[in-house]
Amino acid sequence: MRENRSYSWYVILALTLTALVRPSGGIIAQFTVQTDKNPVHRKTLNIPLRLSDQRSLLSSEDLEDQQLKALDAVHTSAFASHPDVGLEHIFAPLERACHPDCTKRGNCNAEDGRCECPFGYTGPTCDEPLLPACQQGPGLEPFFGLLASRNCECLRQANRFFGCSPTNETCTLVSMSFHEVQCFSFTGKVPSEQWSQMPAMDEEGVEYYKGWINRRVDLRRVEPREGVVGGDIWGRPYLILPLEKCGHHKCHGRGACAVELPSAELDSIFTASNGTKHFCMCYKGYKGHTCNEDMWELCPNRCRGRGQCIRGFCHCRAPYWGLDCGRERAWQLAPGASLVPNRLVLRIYVYELPANVAFPVPLDDNVFDMDEPSYLTHRKFLEMLLLDTAIRTENPLEANLFFVPATAYSYSSNTNSPVNQIEAALKYVIVNFPYFNASGGADHFVWTTGDRGACYLPRNLSRVIFLTLFGLHANLRDNATTFLHPRPEHHPNWGCVHPKKDVVVAPWYDNMVGSEEAPRVYENLVAAEGESPERYLLFFFAGSVRMHDMSYSNGVRQALFNHLKALFASNGNYSDILFVEGYTASYGELYMRSRFCLAPHGGGFGVRLTLAMAHACIPVIIQDQVYQPYESDGILPYSQFALRLSKSDIPNIVPILRAVSVEKQKRMRLAMAKYYHAFLWDASLGGRAYNYTIKALNQRLHGLWGRLWGDPHRRQLRVA
Ligand SMILES: *[C@@H]1O[C@H](CO)[C@@H](O)[C@H](O)[C@H]1NC(C)=O
Ligand SMILES: *[C@@H]1O[C@H](CO)[C@@H](O)[C@H](O)[C@H]1NC(C)=O
Ligand SMILES: *[C@@H]1O[C@H](CO)[C@@H](O)[C@H](O)[C@H]1NC(C)=O
Ligand SMILES: *[C@@H]1O[C@H](CO)[C@@H](O)[C@H](O)[C@H]1NC(C)=O
Ligand SMILES: *[C@@H]1O[C@H](CO)[C@@H](O)[C@H](O)[C@H]1NC(C)=O
Ligand SMILES: *[C@@H]1O[C@H](CO)[C@@H](O)[C@H](O)[C@H]1NC(C)=O
Ligand SMILES: *[C@@H]1O[C@H](CO)[C@@H](O)[C@H](O)[C@H]1NC(C)=O
């Protein structure tokens, strides 16, 4: 499936999870192998309060003690019941108006009076295109991608739009540095007359270019036949034709008209162009033969049935607005009201970021569409949070945690640094809202779903809470960690996550082999009191090894491979051990037949722990210095249901595992039955990963109470 990775975001594909979904040949046995009594910040506020004044919230004078107690009582009961109902004496509805025509193309955000526009548009009515030359004509949707040819002016506009800088590598869209792009230009036309409708190869007055658009735009002129070749994400060449060639529907202006080329040889272009196998290669967000179908799955909660999905942007029916059309109301402090921070109940405020700041589909060519839900864990979380009225609040004044949905993965993909996009999203929040500065970011959280999670993030972001799938907490100067090279802008002393600040989350991987059967497997297991006689294998592993790259899995897979190879060459009887280098179609079956299953990581987070849990195979975690999901908080008692070995234990792995008594194995499996839910997300499978994530965030909140609000010795803050 991912064999022809000609693009660098696949090159170091750290997860060797493709094997688990992919059916292949049958040979498996081959050895190729957080009330406080303390006064907090009290504030008497000037009313009405403008959003931009709310910074004063945390810089105000203390009220009299009596007053405080009374307020505390009010808030305590009110906050504890429902975020909106019963708080009329404290919060008043806020309804900022937008331009009357805002809702034609956008949504009116009543909180800041901003018209929320689809990607590529701005202005009070969303009719100012930000990438006009990426449109196939005036008024048409702008698409930006790297694989099919567009107007060169489009690339220049994108280069600016994504914040590229000639001096530094600052594009938010990291992948722009990986692709040589091709483009065309209509001779003699000014930039405002350049559009991205594909010309015919022999069309007069067209120039073709190839080159790079990272940092700066660097293009060189090429022959027309070179300019008309595009590619798909697997590197297969396609000839891109004028849209008319695909029919009068012109792919509804939402795709390229393409025909596959038999080879990268330019000669094949002529043959292909005369062929009849033209088809609409739809840009991401659309599907169907003529690209006339919307990809609703890109829109959070499918816009709750309250709007139209435009490539991940919900265009909501008024009065609804927000990421998933879930918002109808906004709040301000009621006249005369005072506020104390809500310290009792976790309430998360989700920022509504403009599509131009954070968008799930900044690139239209499906390049990040890897069918692997683990990379979309942030989206799953977002969808669940948006619907979770007990935790999510539409009122930032009563929130105690703030979620910045930066969709960084869409900008950086699995193995690249998400830092540019995270900084861009945070910058928006820092400039436009008071809450970040009030806490220095300590009550804000961001997801980093890529393979290496927060590993690349600079120190000045270190107060922000990261939700990550990869819990490396290593001293990167320690040679035992070959995994990452220390870099001065990183935290050399804690590697990627801080166990008391960040949250390591279980990947959303619910479509994996075995997840559907998990509830039944555990039912049977509990009925059998933990016995599982059908597990004839002592242990099993299948996946890639990468002898040439010892940083991969921090050398664990490689060491295992070498150890077992030597073992198997000796005289012992090891027929109950199976190590498959690479793919096996029988992955699920083998998990069900094994007592122990190895869970090393890959080039970043791994999914084998999740798989082992789904199959009730006792996980043997060999990931030195890597916190596992919900481990650092003590939320999950790993020692009850998993074994943790060190890389240095590998030479003794067989005797170690053989020494685990049958009774202990039974106890461990029964403990797994209690906790496997933590590794699944979908409620239909009994998944509770969301709940565990919320629980972990709640613990973070408790930690913050002390630091932000609870210190009696802290200098008393003044009223604004
Ligand atoms: C570019 O990066 C260097 C080193 O990181 C920094 O000193 C310099 O100020 C940056 N320049 C710009 C224009 O951001
Ligand atoms: C393709 O069609 C053009 C005319 O439309 C013709 O000149 C050319 O020979 C054809 N090429 C092939 C390989 O059939
Ligand atoms: C927060 O602080 C930054 C840096 O000091 C400043 O640029 C920004 O305007 C502040 N945000 C608000 C909303 O005042
Ligand atoms: C962190 O520092 C970089 C420059 O090193 C700056 O561009 C960025 O805005 C800073 N981020 C925050 C949140 O202060
Ligand atoms: C770590 O490795 C480097 C280079 O291999 C070596 O120079 C250094 O002495 C090692 N440090 C320790 C503590 O072993
Ligand atoms: C090897 O051990 C297995 C049990 O682990 C046993 O069933 C098998 O007969 C043994 N084979 C030999 C050749 O001793
Ligand atoms: C988990 O969270 C969901 C909200 O998404 C809630 O409906 C459910 O009751 C929670 N489950 C448990 C076991 O707490």
Taking only the tens place, the pLDDT of each residue in 85-101 is 455 677 888 999 999 99
How many angstroms separate the alpha carbon of residue 700 from the centre of ligand 4? 24
Give residue ranges with CB within 6 A of ligand 7: 384, 388, 688, 690-691
In degrees rounded to 5, what are phi and psi of residue 174?
-60, -35
Ligand that lies nearest to the alpha carbon of residue 477, given by its number in the listed order? 5
Q: Which residues pair with 466 in a beta bridge?
A: 446
Distance 424 CA to ligand 4 centre (A): 9
Tokens of 51: 């959003």
- The answer to whether residues 460 and 531 touch, using CB atoms and an 8 Å cutoff, is no
- Reply yes or no on whether the pLDDT at 489 is more than 50: no
Q: Residue 538 — φ and ψ, nearest 5°?
A: -70, -55
pTM of the full structure: 0.85
CA 187 to chain centre: 41
Q: What is the 179 CA–ligand 1 centroid distance (Å)?
A: 23
For residue 598, the cross-strand partners are 620
Nearest residue to 442 via CA among 393, 400, 488 = 400
Report whether 655 contacts 528 (CB < 8 A): no
Task: Give yes or no for a contact between 24 and 583, defined as CB atoms under 8 angstroms apart.
Answer: yes
Residue 156 vs residues 178, 196, 363, 546: alpha-carbon distances, Å: 16, 12, 15, 39
Q: For residue 267, how far is its CA from the centre of ligand 2 (angstroms)?
A: 12
Report the percent of the chain where pLDDT is more than 90.
55
Q: How far apart are CA 181 and CA 18, in angstroms?
A: 28
Residue 583 has a pLDDT of 83
Q: For residue 689, which ligand has an atom nearest its CA?
A: 7
Residue 290 contacts residue 284 (beta carbons within 8 Å): no
**pLDDT digit string (tens) for 618-677?**
999 999 889 999 999 889 999 999 999 999 999 999 999 999 999 999 999 999 999 999
Ligand 4 nearest atom to the CA of residue 489, by list position: 5
Ligand 3 atom 5: residue of nearest CA: 437
CA dist 508 and 692 (Å) reads 13
Q: Tell me: pLDDT of 321 over 80.
A: yes
- Taking a C-beta distance cutoff of 8 angstroms, is the pair 612, 634 a contact? no
Q: How many CB atoms lie within 10 A of CB 572?
A: 10
d(CA 270, CA 443): 59
Element (H, E) at 403: strand 401-403
CA of 274, closest atom in ligand 2:
1
Please, which residues bridge with residue 94 across strands?
330
Question: Residue 247 burial by CB count (10 A; 0-12/13-18/19+): exposed, middle or buried?
Answer: middle
* Other residues' Cβ atoms within 10 Å of the Cβ of residue 441: 22
Query: What is the position in ligand 1's atom list of the atom closest to the CA of 165?
Result: 13
The token duo for 559 is 């060491």
CA of 430, closest atom in ligand 3: 11
By mean pLDDT, which of 90-94, 284-288, 531-535, 675-679 is the weakest? 90-94
More confident residue, 22 or 163: 163
What pLDDT, on the 0 to 100 scale, is given for residue 345? 82
256: closest CA among 238, 271, 269, 273? 238
Which ligand 3 atom is the nearest neighbour of the CA of 432? 13
Strand (E) or helix (H) holding 527: helix 518-527
Ligand 7: residue whose CA is nearest its atom 14:
691
Distances (CA, A) of 95 to 55, 100, 112, 126, 658: 20, 14, 9, 20, 67
With tokens 């082999």, the residue in question is 513
**Alpha-helix residue ranges (DSSP H) falling in 584-637:** 587-592, 608-614
Q: Which of 436-440, 640-644, 701-705 has the lowest mean pLDDT?
A: 701-705
First to last CA, the chain: 60
Q: Which two tokens stand for residue 706?
A: 């002390």
Whole-number CA gyration radius for the chain = 28
Which burial class, exposed, middle or buried, applies to 120 when counting CB atoms under 10 A from its CB (0-12, 13-18, 19+)? Answer: buried
170 lines ligand 4 (CB under 6 A): no
